[in-house]
Chains A and B, each alone.
Chain A
């Protein structure tokens, strides 16, 4: 019994190593995380700036957010296909699609966070003699950080999904290994690549969740 158990264990482990090596999953993971990081950094920079911009121009906020909502409703595979004529195959359309999907949660949460800051803080800040710029920098932005990170967290999950789909259009990454497994019908490859991608998504979401909680606690919003 004990021996047999050990046998199963070592069998699984050796399978895992074999699948990992034949599909060069280390390389795939690096490709995957590179695309993922580029997409998240771009989406954060663009999304937060756009949120700030919309906050300063409330009149165009609604149409703009509706537009982003529209982008959000395009299913992911068609979106990738739509981007192919413009960006070709590979990494670029994958990153662009990830950024497009991530813009809505980040922009919307930044805009809403800035707008929904409890007015009593804005009022007292103004009464103390803070200029509008200082109110934005010292009060509104810090107080909306938990909300912004909340949006970023949603974007992380979206991006992980889109980057994986990038495998379909020769972007590399873990999606490529997954698709190879599907096409060759190798259950082990599908399982290992799928679970590993899922695990990565859970880890990033968990980390972002911890940051979000910390911020909420730090900013007294329980």
Chain B
């Protein structure tokens, strides 16, 4: 049965003295927060600090014992929960794609319950798959277990966007991915976020992710909201020791001049390396099987560059060799200064680089925006 569209855009979300207790223990203790429309607010804190509980209250998966939550000045307790949730996208760490439905059915499920016609559902699903960089004709009919973790997470995002909700709740969406994949998806998410133009509330325990993606960061500890502010505010005016220690990694930024590449290296595993003579078809299946999104192309003596899975998937000529599609990226020695290498990468617009040890590939370097800011 179709449900009402509750809001076309978010003007404000307000939590007023929200409290939730389980037995004698506070899950959330008197949390008040104002979120503006279009903002990306990140909740961060130790596990058990109440960040996920707070997130799950906004779509009424958990209901407060006291306090109110207002979306566009409307008390959400007065809204029908099913309708409310259909107006809010939800993405979680373990994705939860339904194993018995193919990708198109997974994404289109709620639209089908809303009695959209088949054609409209199909068009929207195709649009969204392309939006999250998965060629729709290849993926629509597959089942979740045939997809890599990164691909599943893209589908999870597409599913959350199906009803074009003005608000997205994301609970550690990149938490289960390996570091290299995580950085790539963060990068992509950062780029599509502008296109989305949505209000996003995001939970993470990774402070770098928070600095990189968040407009404002809310720090939670022991069921309470400790401080909310921009990265700069938290770094330079931490409310207490606890905030200071959470943003501690930021101290690295202040000493960036002394940091060397080896301090920030993402180590390479040999599964990433593929021989240049491999054809596109076999490279795709190898990468899907290994659950990686980037492969290092080597010619036996050393790395030539990288290929990305999404680019390979889009290639018409699946017979060609991957060596012909290599994207060159800079390489640095592990003892070089980070600041100078980052400047080079920023100048040429590279999002990753090889790190070499004694002339051999030993890892990757991913500069992120936090670093770039400090350098700039």
Contact = CB atoms under 8 A, between A and B. Distances in A.
Pair from one complex = yes
Contacts of A143: 98-100
Contact of A129 (B56, B82, B94, B143): B82
Interface residues of B, number: 25
Given A123-B61, A220-B144, A220-B145, A128 B99 contact: no
A65 to B, nearest CB: 26
B54 to A, nearest CB: 15
A196 B159 CA distance: 53
Contact of B100 (A120, A125, A142): A142
Nearest to B160: A128
A220 B61 contact: no
A123 B96 contact: yes
B204 interface: no
A131 B3 CA distance: 11
Given A131-B82, A219-B100, A124 B144 contact: no
A127 B98 contact: no
Among B83, B98, B109, max chain A CB count under 10 A is at: B98
A220 B99 contact: yes
Contacts of A221: 99
Interface in A128-160: 128-131, 134, 138-139, 142-143
B151 to A, nearest CB: 15
B216 interface: no
Contact of B109 (A120, A126, A127, A138): A138
A87 interface: no
Nearest to B114: A129
A129 B99 contact: no
B199 interface: no
B82 A121 contact: no
B90 interface: yes
Contacts of B110: 128-130
Contacts of B98: 121, 125, 138-139, 143
B100 A129 contact: no
A191 B311 CA distance: 66
Given A120-B94, A142-B100, A219-B99, A130 B61 contact: no
Interface residues of A, number: 20
Interface string A186-218: 000000000000000000000000000000001
B96 A121 contact: yes
Among A124, A127, A129, A138, max chain B CB count under 10 A is at: A129
A128 B3 CA distance: 13
A130 B82 contact: yes
Contacts of B159: 128
Contacts of B16: none
A129 B96 contact: no
Contacts of A125: 98
A129 B83 contact: yes
A215 to B, nearest CB: 9
Contacts of B212: none
Contacts of A128: 85-86, 90, 109-110, 159
Contact of A218 (B59, B90, B94, B100): B100
A12 B87 CA distance: 74
Nearest to A218: B100
7 contacts: A127-B61, A127-B90, A128-B86, A129-B84, A130-B82, A131-B82, A142-B100
Interface of A: 120-121, 123-131, 134, 138-139, 142-143, 218-221
Given A124-B96, A125-B98, A130-B109, 18 more contacts: A120-B92, A123-B92, A126-B85, A128-B86, A128-B90, A128-B110, A128-B159, A129-B3, A129-B85, A129-B86, A129-B87, A129-B110, A129-B163, A130-B82, A142-B100, A219-B99, A220-B100, A220-B143
